[in-house]
Structure 1
């Protein structure tokens, strides 16, 4: 198959039960337990009606400003999938709008993470699909290619492999490698429980802040 025009099936997906667990955890907590290494760079905005999603990555590489391969991806992705598109970060042309995303919603696709632009944002906000993109523009795309489906790609500064766990909410997007999803989500659940306890303390007897001075003294901070 020629590089730039190839389609590979996505056969290995993260366990749906892990996706359900991940959906209940803030993306920030999940990112924290991966030492903050798996959070996509800032700048992604939530445009869709769903503001929290968690599911397997269905990967698409698109030439900036061209959405031919994205059209094929929307037809191929399975219910619950999250289409992750490396659109080169281009903002001059929208790669998806209300028609494509309406079709994706009808097919049960859970969301789209787009390193590029979208359009028809008023309509997108009413749809039962999650949409994270770099920005928006009224300008439409070409449909010539090249592009790839089902290959490992870069999106938001991270490597994303087909079937990896994608979690996105109002804060942004995190990527959990499929092989490590069980351990990461278990750790994130414990981290969330810890933060819940801190929140309760703040609202109650107060948050013990002694650790701040201890951390500064450990670094030799004068006056700590």
Structure 2
């Protein structure tokens, strides 16, 4: 599926006005080979703990986008090169992290799209604390499981349903 987030915004001004389409603030950096990716959202809410991130990426992605609300923490990374390889192997379209990633060169070699706030060399703790498949807040925008994510060089969109 080829798309442009600019064209999706232009063609869906009614959804932007009603809240059926939202734009994430332009605070995310791009990683991974896929400059553009889209798919239904799977959601996680964690804080400086990536056990649930790994557990999610170990399951079949089926073209979904894993949206990780890491609380915006800049104190450690929630996704690294090994998880990027796992996401690619299991068919995830992309990962959006409201937090940090590491192993950026390894992530850039993976055939997925990744958006994150920054890089950080320190790994997270591993306690397994967090929630999955719930509504999360990413940079002030609510993302629900099953919402559609569209990401390209111009931005990241969250749609209540598939648009095109």
Asked if the contact 1:114/1:134 (under 8 Å) is kept, the reply is: yes
TM-score (norm 2): 0.90
1:136 corresponds to 2:114? no
Instruction: Give the match for residue 125 of structure 1.
Output: 108
Instruction: Give the match for residue 170 of structure 1.
Output: 153
Distance 2:35 2:125 in 1: 29
Deviations 1:49-94 (A, max 9, x none): 110001010111111x111111111123522011001000111100
Asked if the contact 2:61/2:93 (under 8 Å) is kept, the reply is: no
TM-score (norm 1): 0.67
Distance 1:28 1:142 in 2: 38
Larger relative helix fraction:
1
CA RMSD of superposed structures (Å): 1.5
Instruction: Give the match for residue 150 of structure 1.
Output: 133
Distance 1:42 1:170 in 2: 10
Instruction: Give the match for residue 52 of structure 1.
Output: 36
Q: How many residues align?
A: 158
Contiguous gaps of at least 5 residues in structure 2:
none
Contiguous gaps of at least 5 residues in structure 1:
1-19, 186-224
* Higher RCO (C-alpha 8 Å, min separation 6): 2
Instruction: Give the match for residue 4 of structure 1.
Output: none
Asked if the contact 1:77/1:83 (under 8 Å) is kept, the reply is: no
What is the DSSP-based 3-state SS (H/G/I as helix, E as strand, rest coil) of the residue aligned with 2:84?
helix
Which one of 85, 92, 99 corresponds to residue 109 of structure 1? 92
